[in-house]
Structure 1
Amino acid sequence: MKKLSLFFTCFFIIYIVKSQTFDPFIEEWKKMHESKSEFNKVFNDLKFGMFIHWGVYSKLGGVWNGENIIPETHGGQALLGEWIMYGARIPRNEYLKVAKTFNPVGFNAEQWVKTAKEAGMRYIVAMTKHHDGFAMYHSKVSDYNIYDYTPFKRDPIEELYKACEKYGLRMGLYYSHSIDWLDGGDSGNAQYNEAHPDLPKDSVAANIWDPPSATFQEYIEDKAKPQMREILTKFPNLLNIWYDFPRHMSGQQSFEFYKLAYDFQPQALINSRVGNDLGDYSAAGDNRLAPEDFGIYKLWETPGTLNNTWGYKSYDNDWKSIGELLINIAEIASKGA
């Protein structure tokens, strides 16, 4: 039977089985994956949660140099507020100047968590680092973090984690393992282009306007993996890990991110966006009521927004009505058991 869970700023709805082409690591992955059956039930029973997208991009509100950054003039990803650095081709130093002024003094973790609980949500997934490369927790791996780089001098992820413990909600964490516009995460495009010289060059989601000097593999070894170790150590007993946008990551690279999380927290479920069919459950396409094709997965989760963006855009007022949201929730729930 297909299983579910629904998740809000955003909603997610949740739905195991796998078979991949043979790779040396597949048998090891299967053992880890199959050890999580009891945690699948825990995940499925939670049903409804909050997905928080919040960072330096929120300060910009979808506007750069007085211009609304929209798909019609800046490409499809400009629909999303959290992609403004990419859509507006903001140089790294200019983006970091914005970060220097990011000071969300009104942030109240307990208020956010209580709001989620009052809405019937049972878990929260928060953003540790999105594609902009800026960490929203106190990281010792990179100075580009909210504690060291901004006047805020607080760790909002730690505060949310403690608030979830206090009010009885489970917590998962998002980490953009593949894209990092500050430090060289290009979603594996360069390694793909090198392996396929006969095909058109792919630069989707990569920083080609002000490229960092680090290679993709250097970014993985020097920043992404160390930050994940840091996160998994600092925030134990996580519900799930939300990786994102694997695109041209190799199977070995995806496996290493899966195993890294398993070695620290074997109970944490890994979403399909770790890449190469090596997750524990499927993260359906954004705002899709169910995956178009469940493929190798039975366990799944739907992420959805309340308007058209995850990150804040000051001019996106295309809000879904209460009726539409309730219909979506009911339709998603009806596909599970």
Structure 2
Amino acid sequence: MFYHYLKFPSVKRFLTLSLLMAGLTVPALAQEQGVHHQSAEYEAPTDPLVQKKLEKWQDQKFGMIIHWGLYAVPGIIESWQLCSEDWIERDSTIAYEDYKKWYWGLSKDFNPVNFNPEQWASVAKKAGMRYLVFTTKHHDGFNMFDTKETDFKITNGPFKDHPKANVAKHVFNAFRKEGFMIGAYFSKPDWHTEYFWWPKYATPDRNVNYDIRKHEWRWNQYKQFTYNQISELMHDYGSMDILWLDGGWVRPSETVNDEVRSWGAAIPEFSQEVDMPRIATMAREAQPGLLIVDRTVHGPYENYQTPEQRVPENKIDNPWESCLTLANNWGYVPNDKFKSSAKVIHSLVEVVAKGGSMLLGVGPKPDGTLPEEAVTRLAEIGKWLDANGEAIYNTRATDRFQDGTTYFTQGKKGTRYAIALLPENAAAPTVVEWTGNAPKKGSKMKLLQTNKQVKWERAGDKIKVFLPASMAASPALAFAFTAE
């Protein structure tokens, strides 16, 4: 993912990273992640096919993003330890160049012999997820698909003779068969190719390490390299719904505003644009109606916004998704701490009530299996959605979207939903109350968990709902009714 480490005087942001070198077993430490705010500006797409796809995507509400690559082998943060910035910690006894060689050398050890994308897709479907974003290449440049542009790829290591060696193709096919919308994550920066990080120079930060104005040929090679790789994904990997581009510091200089400068990362004077108009034209010729998410780069190629590791404080009328992790990290880290299913459900309800979708991050283990705790959590979330999904899927935000810990959504046919968040591990209440979003006088109200009617009454602007004494405990209770 794209981490912003904002340097506000009142907020000290830091990241402690674990270092696992070959042959060592060092427990990974939790990281404090930066907050990625969505772009302050939004430009709605004008292509009717894109508009239609965007409307369909907004109906899905709940997706899975999978970070999986070399970083899974030692169980460390994805890619970022390659970057030489002052917030990154590494073993001071290991030279930086030696560290990069070790990290990229993990390609000789990455052999996920138990890779089973059909099982991943089954778990995600049972969780109630409806769209996928899979990391085809992160900033480290290691490709999880059989690109022809470089040998630094999953199909050129110990996994190359496996029948599912072209990992991305099999992931996309498995999720597509389960009815998911399909998204390809692709990192615009690539720290492995000499066209981005030229070995002639040091690599001081996340940016290209040479002056593009003085070495125009080299940057043009990089632009073509990027174009060719995205073309492969758009032409050779089946039907695509989303091209999800990460690494928003790689952008045209004219889009660098005060918001971008506030990230705290170095921003070069020259433009690092990769010619998005050309890429978008090609991609949409291959995939009509394709959603393009050029994260943080406001304009025609950021079809929806992506606040990271946070839920916005208020309702947002533009299309957006909160990118959140199921554990503390995007990728696999041993002994990571997973969020409870109740916490994830509460976040999902809040996100949807505020007009967004939730993209939940899961990191497979280096052998290709999902962590058991992740599978358990996802199953619990799916169980809740089986009973209450009517209040989540295909809904939109209401003007009055919240009253305390009760949130409201509205179906396309006008049904109003009230979703009351309950404390974790608490007994089911006998009464639920909220203010506003009143049902029509004399109308009926249904509790989705039981699919049965419940009694309610109104006193002024307050609604009181009476529940049966035999109610099973739940992270949240959802009610359907016709509003005034």
Q: 1:1-337 maps to which residues of 2 (within 5 A)?
A: 18=43, 33-62=47-76, 75-76=86-87, 91-153=99-161, 154-177=165-188, 179-184=189-194, 204-206=205-207, 215-221=218-224, 223-250=225-252, 253-273=275-295, 275-290=297-312, 298-315=318-335, 317-336=336-355, 337=396
- Which secondary structure state, in structure 2, belongs to the residue aligned with residue 164 of structure 1? helix
Q: Specify the alignment match of 2:374 in structure 1.
A: none
- Post-superposition offset of 1:74: 7.6
State how far apart, in whole Å, the 2-side matches of 1:171 and 1:78 are: 35
CA shift for structure 1 position 247: 1.4
Task: Report the Cα distance in structure 1 between the residues aligned to 2:228 and 2:77, rounded to whole angstroms.
Answer: 32
- Structure 2 CA distance for partners of 1:257 and 1:120, relative to 1, 3 Å: same
Partners of 2:196 and 2:222 within 8 A in 1: no
Deviations, residues 295-321 of structure 1 (Å, cap 9, x unaligned): xx8111221102222122225x33222
In the alignment, residue 18 of structure 1 is paired with which amino acid?
Answer: E
1:254 touches 1:274 (CA, 8 Å); kept in 2?
A: no
Per-residue CA deviations over 1:124-157 (Å, capped at 9, x if unaligned) read 1111111110110111221111012333431111
- Whichever residue aligns with residue 166 of structure 1, its letter is K
Structure 1: distance between partners of 2:178 and 2:280? 29
The verdict on how the C-alpha distance between 1:34 and 1:246 changes in structure 2, with shifts beyond 3 A counting, is farther
Q: How far did residue 274 of structure 1 move?
A: 7.4
Partner of 1:125: helix, strand, or coil? strand
Following the alignment from structure 1 to structure 2, what is the Cα–Cα distance between the partners of residues 78 and 162?
38
How far apart, CA to CA, are the structure 1 residues paired with 2:75 and 2:61? 30
Q: 2:85·2:204 contact (CA, 8 Å) conserved in 1?
A: no
On the 8 A contact 2:113/2:159 being kept in 1, the answer is no
- Do the aligned partners of residues 219 and 293 (structure 1) sit closer, same or farther apart at CA in structure 2, a change above 3 Å counting? farther
- Take 1:136 and 1:160, find their aligned partners in 2: how far apart are those partners? 10
CA displacement 1:102-127 (0-9 Å, x = unmatched): 10001101000000001111111111
Q: Which of these two proteins has the greater Rg computed from alpha carbons? A: 2
Q: Kindly tell me: are residues 281 and 157 of structure 1, through their superposed partners in 2, closer, same or farther at Cα, counting changes over 3 Å?
A: same
Task: Return 150-159 or 227-236, whichever deviates more.
Answer: 150-159
Structure 1 residue 263: Cα displacement? 2.4
Unaligned runs of 5+ in 1: 1-13, 20-29, 80-87, 188-201
Q: Please tell me whether the aligned partners of residues 154 and 160 of structure 2 are also in contact (alpha carbons under 8 angstroms).
A: yes
- Residue matched to 2:421: none
Q: 2: CA distance between counterparts of 1:174 and 1:43? A: 16
**Helix, strand or coil: the match of 2:229?**
helix
Is the CA contact 2:70–2:106 (under 8 Å) kept in the aligned structure 1? yes
Q: Which amino acid aligns with 1:269?
A: L
The equivalent of 2:437 in structure 1 is none
Q: Is the 8 A contact 1:285 1:291 kept in 2?
A: no
* Number of equivalences: 276
Task: Please tell me whether the aligned partners of residues 185 and 219 of structure 1 are also in contact (alpha carbons under 8 angstroms).
Answer: yes
Give, in angstroms, the shift of residue 275 of structure 1: 2.7
TM-score normalised according to structure 1 size = 0.71
Structure scoring higher RCO (CA < 8 A, sep ≥ 6) equals: 1
Task: Assess, with a 3 A threshold, how the Cα gap between structure 1 residues 96 and 17 changes in structure 2: closer, same or farther.
Answer: closer
Compared CA separation, residues 63 and 327, structure 1 to 2 (3 A): closer
| Post-superposition CA distance 1:15-56 (Å, at most 9, x none) | x9628xxxxxxxxxx65x454221111111111111000001
Query: Given residue 221 of structure 2, which amino acid in structure 1 is its aligned partner?
Result: E
Between structures 1 and 2, the one with greater strand share:
2
Contact residue 110 and residue 163 of structure 1 kept, 8 A: yes
Distance 2:333 2:111 in 1: 18
How far apart, in 2, do the equivalents of 1:56 and 1:206 lie?
21
Same amino acid, percent of matched pairs: 27
The root-mean-square deviation of aligned C-alpha atoms, in Å, is 3.5
The unaligned stretches of length 5 or more in structure 2 are 1-37, 91-95, 198-202, 210-214, 255-272, 356-395, 397-484
Structure holding more helix per residue: 1
Amino acid corresponding to residue 340 of structure 2 in structure 1: S
Contact 1:254 1:275 in 2 (8 A): no
Change (3 A) 1:111 1:131: same
- The answer to whether the 8 Å contact 2:292/2:301 transfers is yes
Q: Which amino acid aligns with 1:329?
A: L
- Work out the CA distance in 2 between the residues paired with 1:257 and 1:291: 34
Shift of 1:279: 2.2
2-side partners of 1:291 and 1:231: how far apart? 36
